[in-house]
Chain A
């Protein structure tokens, strides 16, 4: 649970830093959509930046637009994808 919350905070910081958002990480809720009405107001170029940042930071690869649509819905969905990916990696 604590690990979950920590990961979500990291993701929010990643979004704020890489996309130069005008909100703080604390102001982003776990369920807030990234795109569309009531969202953080991201667009497809932002999505591309998030895809690159997730790969560079964690090694999480989002191989196609369909996967991106599923993973990049909100912080929760990114966190779930990241947790599933990290679970497949051998611990060192």
Chain B
């Protein structure tokens, strides 16, 4: 597999960090740019382990200016961007009747507007290259919205629609755009669950277990590889058979 330049948002833990590790394991020459915001210990540690190929950069995905700066730095150093993994996300779960406007706005900004800004930032380079892969981490909540997640589910459903629309726009330019919808993945975002809650959820999953971040990362790597060149606008569930 040829060397790729890969930008991953939400790269400090969970799916983002697992994806970075998967790309580094796939080709030691791959160059990884890990976008992080407040927490960065995990990403910094990976960058320390792979100082030649992994960088950790401060990136507020909701800011078009921050994207411009990060992608500008990437292009200045690497000359290209092959893969963008829009993974940064945030929950503020609550019933809509009790939801303050900022919980709605902030959730949409991080989960949906961030994908818009990121995609817009990398498109000029990918159009010039006539190649590129944009992989958006949506959520099973986009397809099966639970109560208490009107903001998150709407944002992720927006990511799915953005993916399918953008895929059509850029298909003939050699750029693919796909979305993944992970179900219950064993990451820090589930760390607050009690053992009983975990058991209850696992009992509802046909595979009777939570997914691993590495299992999502494997799908990201596949969508970024040369063999996936005819796959675009797809929405892939990774949920142990939940839906």
Contact = CB atoms under 8 A, between A and B. Distances in A.
Interface of A: 45, 48-49, 52-53, 55-56
Main secondary structure of the interface of B (DSSP, over half): helix
B90 to A, nearest CB: 30
A45 B170 contact: yes
Nearest to B168: A45
Contact of A45 (B124, B128, B173): B173
Q: Which residue of B123, B127, B170 has the most chain A CB atoms within 10 A of its CB atom? A: B127
Interface residues of B, number: 8
Interface of B: 123-124, 127-128, 169-170, 172-173
A17 to B, nearest CB: 11
Contacts of A45: 169-170, 172-173
17 contacts: A45-B169, A45-B170, A45-B172, A45-B173, A48-B123, A48-B127, A48-B169, A49-B127, A49-B173, A52-B123, A52-B124, A52-B127, A52-B128, A53-B128, A55-B124, A56-B124, A56-B128
Contacts of B128: 52-53, 56
Interface of A is mostly: helix
A36 B178 CA distance: 32
Ranked 6 nearest A-B pairs via Cβ: A52-B127, A52-B124, A56-B128, A49-B127, A52-B128, A45-B169
B126 to A, nearest CB: 9
A54 to B, nearest CB: 11
A76 to B, nearest CB: 24
Contacts of B173: 45, 49
A46 to B, nearest CB: 10
A35 to B, nearest CB: 17
Nearest to B126: A52
Contacts of A56: 124, 128
B11 to A, nearest CB: 27
Contacts of A55: 124
Given A45-B172, A49-B127, A56-B128, 5 more contacts: A45-B170, A45-B173, A48-B123, A49-B173, A52-B127
